[in-house]
Amino acid sequence: MLNTRLISSHVPRLRAPTHSRMGLKALLGAALLSTLSACASQAGHEWQADTTYHLTVLHTNDHHGRFWQSSDGEYGMSARKTLIDRIRAEVESAGGSVLLLSGGDINTGVPESDLQQAEPDFKGMNRIGYDAMAVGNHEFDNPLEVLLKQRDWADFPMLAANIYDKTTGERLFAPWKIFDEHGIQIAVIGLTTEDTVRIGNPEYFSNLDFRTPRKRRARPSRSSTSMSSRT
């Protein structure tokens, strides 16, 4: 049996609610949960029918440049790391495993981050130990070369299964990442809201095609352990 716990937080006020708000920006967490049972039951893995496997999914979104603590004592990536490290230690000491995911929107918030193209934020996420991130619509508030630079800064995959280059027809980002936890394969799929083309600056993504996630949902191969960004 796979016992899964999802702890989701809207980043500006870091907390661990018992119920998560699942919208388009939180599709990463939703996609993970929708694929758990299928991936966990595949043949060829060390699955024990009478064993309970504990998986805790930590999920944040809408960071928006708040890598520093505010004057009111809110926000800050150092506080987030302290909380996440504590949860990781508790889960792992009980024999469980943790996946740390982001629903995106790292960009656009405070000048200290905006003027540095969110470099402190992505490098802070590296220190915290994020496993994967879905590309949010606010990642396109800057020219594409900035976003590609941010992808290079990140030590974790930035996922978007439904963003395609109009010229090449290829995906701009990896569509999914498959993790192996206790011999169980877990697929994490990234999707970006197609509303980006209506609410963003078209100057920055005129050569990109944001396809409707409901129609273009990626399907991980059962035999693969990781996938590239090419179809």
pLDDT tens, 172-217? 999 999 999 887 889 999 999 999 999 989 999 999 999 986 655 5
Select, from the ranges 38-42, 61-65, 127-131, the one with the highest average predicted confidence (pLDDT).
127-131
Site of tokens 């130990």: 129
Question: Which residues lie below 8 Å from residue 212, measured CB to CB, with a gap of 6+?
Answer: 162, 194
pTM: 0.77
pLDDT at 215: 57
Contact between residue 202 and residue 52 where contact means Cβ atoms under 8 Å apart: no
Q: How confident is the prediction for the chain on average, in pLDDT?
A: 80
Alpha helices, H only, the chain: 27-40, 77-93, 111-114, 119-128, 144-153, 196-199
